[in-house]
Amino acid sequence: MLEIKNLVKAFGGLRATDDVSMTFETGSLTAIIGPNGAGKSTFFNLITGALTPNSGSIVLDREELVGLSQMQIVRRGIGRAFQIASIFPSLTVEETLLGAAAADSGQSGSLLGRFPAEGTRGEAERVARMLGLWSKRNVPASNLSHGDQKLLDIALALMLRPKVLLLDEPTAGMGPEERWQMIEKVRQLWELEKITVVFIEHDMDIVFKVAPSIRVLCYGRLLAQGTPDEIRSNPAVIEAYLGTAHGEEAA
Amino acid sequence: MPKLSVRTELLVAFAALAVLAMLPAFTSSKALVDFVIRAAAFGLFATSLNLLVGYGGMVSFGHGLFFGLGAYSFGLLMQRTGLPIPVAFALTLVISALSGLVIGAICVRLKEIYFAFVTLAFQMLLHSLIVSWVPLTGGDQGLLGGIPRPTFFGVNLANHIHLYMTSAVLLVVGLLLMRQIAQSPFGYTLRMIRDNPGRTSFLGVNVFRTKLTAFVLAGVFASAGGTIMSLFVSSAYPDFAYWTMSGEAIFIIMLGGTSTFLGPMVGTVVLLLLNDVVTRITPHYGLVLGIVILLFALGLRKGITDFIVEWFDDRRTARITAADAEEGAR
Ligand SMILES: Nc1ncnc2c1ncn2[C@@H]1O[C@H](COP(=O)(O)OP(=O)(O)OP(=O)(O)O)[C@@H](O)[C@H]1O
Ligand SMILES: [Mg+2]
């Protein structure tokens, strides 16, 4: 279980995360929505240790994460994919995953023996197959489609066997059809891996259809949380967000 | 790149060595034998630079430091201590490794252009040290009086053919070892750092330590190249540690290509040939070389072997994409 309590992050006078408390049950699938600049990415950056909060606590399975380095937090089991896919352009899909596996198994500094490192093949293949990247295993990452690059980013995070996977706009920059395929993959991996998945998403149709639980951020604050039905009928959400969001979506 | 098995690589290396070993039996050309010795020195030097540049994305402008350091350390050890050659050679490698450790610890954290210039600065430091410490180094004149070459295990490096065979063996063994480094898990970690250091460290890799290790290893192999050079000319000159030496190595890997392991070796052979041919027909060597550099840097934007690899990669991607599309259509 991931528990966030009274989390605050201020950039100068701007409170990008303003006293946010919420809980993600182990094995849950949650969507985070909110207008541009609501503090969604900042929230992820705080959880992963990319940013240090001004105050508040982040507890994963009874262990406090605030104060740990990014690396330590990764090791504790928080994985993340980035809003802009962060991959290795000249490595093939398979090399990328095998490289991550070598790091995960502590063999990334090994000068003896050949790449791939011992005992890493199976996991790389499993993850690649799960995300539909296996047929492209020999393609350099830079030659992948935008969608596949996002998938590779997610696959990289999975190679570290996270307990919690944070996905920052997995469907960003995709066409409508591609978005649905992507989110379907996310849902599948959540079912298969039985890990906690939290994703940020702008497309309301997707969120309401896919996420059993939704959190709404607005101006750094947690505006509402609940099931799709609860969120849809929440007056505060309608006023602050839903009205404008559909307008933005069209733009 | 195709991943050859270790056995295939050993076979190729052995075949190459066999060809090189038989060469003197077929030709009495001293020029050819000399060519191979020079190619061994420069080939090790350039390939080691490519460990940094091609695999690690660390463009050093000061790699000649290690070439010069190797030549001078070995030359001085032989002149002053009377140690057997293998011991002096091993000590030379140790000295280079330690220097690499100190210099690398300062440099590898620096971003691209700063890394390039600080490595250059260290090289100029060594160069001025060599030029000004006349009692030890002979200054501008280089190491005077020749490098003694006592026979060891029946190998007499004063004999031209023995020197030739020793250089060939060092080259092949050095290339095999660097190939192993490039194909190890470490080698792939290095590629990941080159491509995306932030993400690599996010995977739990100690980026600093990986880069430092690469820097030290590259320095060690470069100094082996320098040692061969000092044996070849039976001396060591300040030029070995001058920035033009680094420039030459950079040019070699640009010429041969950075994306294949043997690219720098191809570049070495082409540059040495160019060198030999051009100096014979025109005194304007620098001009011709400059034009070739411009052609590769601005016109082609990649080295000889890069073209071949890219062509294969594109074809493979096209094939996979086509297969995928077919599958999708079904
Ligand atoms: N490093 C930073 N320094 C200063 N301000 C920042 C920084 N990072 C984010 N902000 C500000 O904090 C606010 C929240 O930004 P954040 O990126 O978290 O929004 P978001 O909800 O992810 O938006 P989007 O939907 O556009 O991705 C914005 O006003 C942003 O300008
Ligand atoms: Mg964002």
Sign of CA dihedral B53, B58, B64, B66: negative
Which residue is listed with tokens 């034998």? B33
Q: Find out whether A119 and A105 touch, Cβ atoms under 8 Å.
A: yes
In angstroms and rounded to an integer, the radius of gyration of the C-alpha atoms of chain A is 18
**A39 CA closest ligand 1 atom index:** 18
Maximal C-alpha separation, chain B = 80
Tokens of A60: 């994963």
Task: Give me the mean pLDDT over the A27-56 stretch.
Answer: 94
Q: Find out whether B316 and A140 touch, Cβ atoms under 8 Å.
A: no
**CB of A138 sitting under 6 A from ligand 1:** no
Residue A241 has pLDDT above 70, yes or no: no
Residue A169 has pLDDT above 70, yes or no: yes
Q: Find out whether A107 and B185 touch, Cβ atoms under 8 Å.
A: yes
* DSSP secondary structure code for residue B235 in this structure: S
| A70 inside domain | yes
Q: CA-to-CA distance for A115 and A124, rounded, in angstroms?
A: 13
CB contact under 8 A, B323 and A135: yes
Among B244, B226, B222, CA closest to B235? B226
Which among B187, B200, B317 has CB closest to A115?
B187
CB contact under 8 A, A135 and B189: no
| C-alpha separations of A99 from B160, B181, B301 in Å | 46, 15, 28
Q: Please count the structural domains in chain A.
A: 1
**With contacts defined as CB-CB under 8 Å, which chain A residues touch B203?**
74, 99-100, 103-104, 108, 156, 159-160
| A174 inside domain | yes
| A121 inside domain | no
Task: Give me the mean pLDDT over the A91-105 stretch.
Answer: 95
Residues, chain B, total? 330
For each of chain B's 330 residues, which pLDDT tens digit applies?
A: 456 788 899 999 999 999 999 988 887 788 889 999 999 999 999 999 999 999 999 999 999 999 999 999 999 999 999 899 999 999 999 999 999 999 999 999 998 899 999 999 999 999 999 999 999 999 999 998 889 999 999 999 989 999 999 999 999 999 999 999 999 999 999 999 999 999 999 898 999 999 999 999 999 999 999 999 999 999 999 999 999 999 999 999 988 988 899 999 999 999 999 888 888 887 787 788 788 877 877 767 777 778 777 777 777 777 777 776 666 555
Ligand nearest to the CA of A202: 1
Q: Find out whether A117 and B190 touch, Cβ atoms under 8 Å.
A: no
Q: CA-to-CA distance for A31 and A216, rounded, in angstroms?
A: 9
Among A249, A219, A193, A215, CA closest to A30? A215
**Ligand 1 center–CA B123 separation, angstroms:** 45
Predicted confidence band of residue A243 (pLDDT cuts 50, 70, 90): low
Cβ partners under 8 Å of residue B59, min gap 6: B52, B53, B112, B115, B116, B250
Strand order in the sheet with A29-33: A78-81, A164-167, A196-200, A29-33, A213-218, A221-226
The ipTM, to two decimals, is 0.86
Tokens of A194: 């039985």
Side-chain half-sphere CA neighbours of B299 within 13 A? 9
Q: CA-to-CA distance for B252 and A173, rounded, in angstroms?
A: 42
Which 57-116 residues of chain A touch chain B by CB within 8 A?
A: 70-71, 74-75, 86-91, 95-96, 98-100, 102-104, 107-116
Greater model confidence, A177 or A89: A89
Q: Find out whether B226 and B45 touch, Cβ atoms under 8 Å.
A: yes
Among A176, A146, A135, CA closest to B328? A135
Q: What φ, ψ does residue B145 adopt, rounded to 5°?
A: 85, 5
Q: CA-to-CA distance for A241 and B112, rounded, in angstroms?
A: 44
Domain range for A71: 2-87+162-250
**Site to substitute for ligand 1 among A41, A48, A201, A215, most atoms within 8 A of C-beta:** A41
Ligand nearest to the CA of A217: 1
DSSP chain A: -EEEEEEEEEETTEEEEEEEEEEE-TT-EEEEE--TTSSHHHHHHHHHTSS--SEEEEEETTEE-TTS-HHHHHHHTEEEE-SS----TTSBHHHHHHHHHHHHTT-TT--SS-SSPTT-HHHHHHHHHHTT-GGGTTSBGGGS-HHHHHHHHHHHHHHT--SEEEES-TTTT--HHHHHHHHHHHHHHHHHH--EEEEE---HHHHHHH-SEEEEEETTEEEEEE-HHHHHT-HHHIIIIIHHHHHHHH-
Nearest residue (CA) to ligand 1, atom 24: A36
Residue A249 has pLDDT above 60, yes or no: no
Which among A98, A104, A135 has CB closest to B204?
A104
Q: CA-to-CA distance for A157 and A137, rounded, in angstroms?
A: 17
Tokens of B110: 């620096």
3-state secondary structure of B86: helix
CATH code of A179's domain: 3.40.50.300
Q: Model's pTM, two decimal places?
A: 0.89
Q: Does A11 touch chain B (CB under 8 A)?
A: no
| A30 inside domain | yes
Nearest residue (CA) to ligand 1, atom 18: A39
| A79 inside domain | yes
**CB of A39 sitting under 6 A from ligand 1:** yes
Among B210, B218, B204, CA closest to B187? B210
| A47 inside domain | yes
Q: CA-to-CA distance for B203 and A106, rounded, in angstroms?
A: 10
Which residue is listed with tokens 């020793």? B166
What per-residue confidence (pLDDT) applies to B25? 84
Among B195, B294, B308, B309, CA closest to B251? B294
Q: Find out whether B316 and A143 touch, Cβ atoms under 8 Å.
A: no
Separation in Å, CA of A220 to nearest CA in chain B? 26
Q: Find out whether B42 and B35 touch, Cβ atoms under 8 Å.
A: no
3-state secondary structure of B152: strand
